[in-house]
Structure 1
Amino acid sequence: MSSGSERSSESSETDSTFAITDVNLPPFNADDEKRVDLATKGLTPVWSFVTEATTDPVVEYVHLLPRNANDSLLCLMCRLECAWGIGPGTLHVDTSANVLPLAADMRKLLDQSWWLLLPEERILNVLEGKTGLSFFQMINEPTYKYTLVPFKDMADMTIHAMPTGSTAESTQLETHNYPFETLPTIVSHVHPCFVVCRAGRIYSQPDSLSFIIGYHSLLEIWRPLFYQSLQIYFAWVEQSVPRNSPFYRLPRTPVKELSVRNGVSEPTGRLDQVGYLDAVRQRKNHQALQKYLKRHSSSGSKISVQAWVESIESQAFARADNPA
């Protein structure tokens, strides 16, 4: 953690070589932060986007794919390695392409799924349908453009930002109101594959109901990009887990407990942990979503959102009910 005035780019160190499958990752330290600062030099200072007006925010370095190595995340990494055509245990979360400097308050809102980044349509078109290639083989550009997309949770908030090309010592902050369409396009070093995974993982989390509900409050211009990002992510995580992977089979007892508690038929044969748990969570969220829509949405919105949710869920339930 550092402040805006402490940011440094005086480092030529290469990206760390620690893989997500190493559960004893060393701390992300000052040298790692300098490496990220070097990668972001001259680009949009996303760390200057704040909800409280200050030109010297506390900066935190956010891993779009997190460093915590729980079983569910390790299984996801295994699938991504298959989808991206890279060797087992070689997906390095400490690469600068996966780390985004953010002001502490914006990082908190990101963790709460109040906003996310979306790539350009042309980038998503390149990624769509591509598996078996490393993410740098899919697309490899010096920088990428992103849009900050807020959910309804931020409707009463403002974002303050430094004008492009300014410094903390020489400028006043510009104020942007929800839905923040006046914010500058974000030019960043982070790779679109990690950005897409961040959006997809939000949907897959146990507490993602607010995220699903928030979908129909997105501006219409953002919905196609968001939906396309989810489709790409789900295509990646549908990849088969290798037979020698520790995640090739689910533990029987936990699965039985989940199936009884949630009314989902217990699967047989091979089934990955991420796919089954996502199916369980999405079914719970879908039931709660229908109650929400019945109370708060018009019939037109209900049909639109229900169709969107079911189009995603049908793939997960098909895998859960008919494992290969």
Structure 2
Amino acid sequence: MPRSRKKSAPSACVVVKVCWPLQKAAVNGKKLLTKLEWVWGMKYPTPDVAHPLNIVHLRADWRMLFGKGQWLLVPELRDLEALEKLSKTTLANGQPSKDLNKDQDRKEFTYHFLPKETMSEPICRFEEAHNGNSSKNIDGPMVEAQPSAYDVHFFPVDTLPPLKSHVCLRFIVFNCTRQASFDICKMDALISTTRILHSKHRTRWSPAV
């Protein structure tokens, strides 16, 4: 069976919903938020789950699967290495590096879609689901859109091209860290079966706090 298929879209709208990589349930309470502020070198009370840099618009089915922890976005290895370098600088001098905030100035990041082994159902990627934006861009307006065609991707979803998003790198890494910690062996297995990811990704998961 091929890992991806292209199909014509029916005459219907694609409903998108808001998703928060830095989820409120994960940072419930001011204690953790205060800790994140210090580690990330941010001013109080900057880390806000409602911040535009923490909002991504997803198709309803993608949003549901994300909420259930069935998949995660993985940053580019070079971005992880750069963040790791800054983190080591922070640990060395005892103060957060001001450069940690530079990811807020970037307009776009590249992320990879990584499904959990429990995600058995295929996913669809619509070509024009975001008002003419590239199908590689995961972001879009919070409105319904009229697609013309879509691709169906099957596990391990390595046929899906890298996705572009404005969402802050630190928020994605925080989400990855929480999800990757569920079982290191399973994370190793997922990365080894996904050709788009480098094996070094596994060594880059450092606690966010």
8 A Cα contact 2:125 2:152, kept in partner? yes
Is 2:125 aligned against 1:148?
A: no
- Among all aligned residue pairs of Structure 1 and Structure 2, give the percentage whose two residues are the same amino acid: 28
**From 97, 106, 115, the counterpart of 1:133:** 97
Contact kept? 2:73, 2:113, Cα under 8 Å: yes
Residue type of the partner of 2:74? L
Q: Residue deviations 1:20-56, cap 9 Å, x none?
A: xxxxxxxxxxxxxxxxxxxxxxxxxxxxxxxxx8763
Aligned: 1:224 with 2:200 = yes
Structure 1 residues 56-95: Cα deviation after superposition (integer angstroms, max 9, x where no partner): 3332211111235633xx3322221111112332322222
> Corresponding residue for 2:177?
200
Please give the TM-score of this superposition, normalised by the length of structure 1: 0.47
Q: 1:213 to 1:90 in 2, by over 3 A?
A: same
In structure 1, list runs of 5 or more residues that go unmatched. 1-52, 238-324
* Greater fraction of residues in helix: 1
TM-score with structure 2 setting the length: 0.71
Contact 1:118 1:226 (8 Å CA) reproduced = no
CA distance in 1, matches of 2:103, 2:58: 26
- In structure 2, the residue matched to 1:183 is 160
Is the contact between residue 152 and residue 218 of structure 1 (CA under 8 Å) also seen in structure 2? yes
Partner of 1:61: 18
Amino acid of the structure 1 residue aligned with 2:106: E
Residue 187 of structure 2 corresponds to which residue in structure 1? 215
The CA distance in 2 between the partners of 1:56 and 1:170, in whole Å, is 7
Change in Cα spacing, 1:113 to 1:213, as seen in structure 2 (3 Å) is farther
* Alignment root-mean-square deviation, CA: 2.7
Q: In structure 2, give the amino acid aligned to 1:57.
A: V
Q: Give unpaired runs (5+ residues) of structure 2.
A: 1-8, 91-95, 129-133, 136-143
How far did 1:168 drift?
Answer: 5.0
- Higher share of residues assigned strand: 2
Q: Secondary structure at the match of 2:190?
A: coil
Letter in 1 for 2:79: I
Change (3 A) 1:151 1:170: closer
CA offset at residue 199 of structure 1? 0.9
Higher Cα Rg: structure 1 or 2? 1
Query: Partners of 2:116 and 2:203 in 1: how far apart?
Result: 14
